[in-house]
Structure 1
Amino acid sequence: MHLRAPAIVVAVRQHGEHGAIVRALTRNDGVQPGYVRGGRSRQMRPVLQPANLVQGEWRARTGEQLASLTVELVHSRAALHGEPLAAAALEWVTALTATALPEAQAYPRVHDALSGTLDAIEAAPSARGWAAALVRYELLLLAELGFGLDLDRCVASGGTEDLDFVSPRSGAAVGRGAAFGYEAKLLRLPAFARTGGEASWDDIFDGLRLTEHFLARDILVDRRVETLAARERLVDRLKRAVA
């Protein structure tokens, strides 16, 4: 096995006294794990930061063997880890990607969306410019993994207007009229989650509650506590930032 490709670092775990096991998302070969010799060294730690773009080269004698990985830094986002809000966003979005995606399966749309989300975080660490993009990334990830929400028409009436809610059971949109009297049992559906465009902070938090429900139920079932803790830290910091 020999693969050379640009990749986004999504997870780093210490291994032994000096090495690290790194998982990185490539566009055409999916998440690829590898052992980086000296990955805990002072020289390599800034390179092996989640969200960094690297040029990776994986080598292994067999497909079952953990590959040896060498990396060259292409673009660093390490400075963002010093910004509490941006750091929380990077921690969550990379942890979600590393946890949710199976290894060695190509998800080019996920790769491109993750790259765009990371670029948005880098361009606007204040969160106003990236929080909505994060929600849309989570919706895309759900869809790509087979758990997409049906947001095109009301599950009860078939209508396409005033789709303000989502059923927490079916993941289907519910129109305002059909939802009357049951609003408390449904999840809010902000318009930007369907059609893009501007989003208020109320819309963003509604979107985060919406995606969190289905991520926790359908994708992070066995890894909920560890991975969703990163999301809780992010949402808490977002709330404090806009208070």
Structure 2
Amino acid sequence: MANQSAWSTEYFDNRPLEYKGQAETAAAASPRTAVPVGNPPSVYTTGKSNSAAGRNTGSVSSFSVLVCMFLLPRVLQVIFLIIALSVTASIPDFTAFSSLKFLLSMDVIALVYSLAVLVWVIICLVSGNSQFGGTGSLAAYITFILDQVLAYTLLAACAAACAVILFIDDGEILAGTNCASLGIATPCSKAKAAISMGIFAFALLAFSAAISSQRLRA
């Protein structure tokens, strides 16, 4: 028993035949080099695949942010402006008030602009071109300027229409009268609803202007 080497122990003698043959062949080919019998299973993923996965996740996240910042506000602008335009146009003899005509005109202009930008953003998304989110581009400057101008002009139109309606309802124009006593309770209510929708559209345009200002940084 003392003369037995490690190869004659119970563990190595009881090995399967194929493992014995591989070990003996490896020892004969290179006695000083250990040759693995089999390839170990891969435990860790490569850095390349991890980086690719990170880029994919980042691109999806960036795409979602761009949609929320650019697409959703424009959709809401269009909805509120359509409601404001429809309600204002349904007021009987609204042309008798210059403030309501001003509000209607601004609703139309802002609606056309919001629709144009919305179509442009949708085309960019469908084509896979994120140019609308690029910084320092000509489109960024144009949208920033128009968002600012239309937002505050629309707010001025809402303020002017609101002042007239409140003056009528509070008896400031005709003493002791209001919309109900004048028989224009429904037109006054419609005008207030149109003004409210215009203010919501202004808030969304102001938000879009704030986002556009961030895109001016080249």
Using the size of structure 2 for normalisation, the TM-score is: 0.25
Higher strand share: 1
Q: TM-score, normalised by structure 1?
A: 0.23
* Larger Rg computed on CA atoms: 2
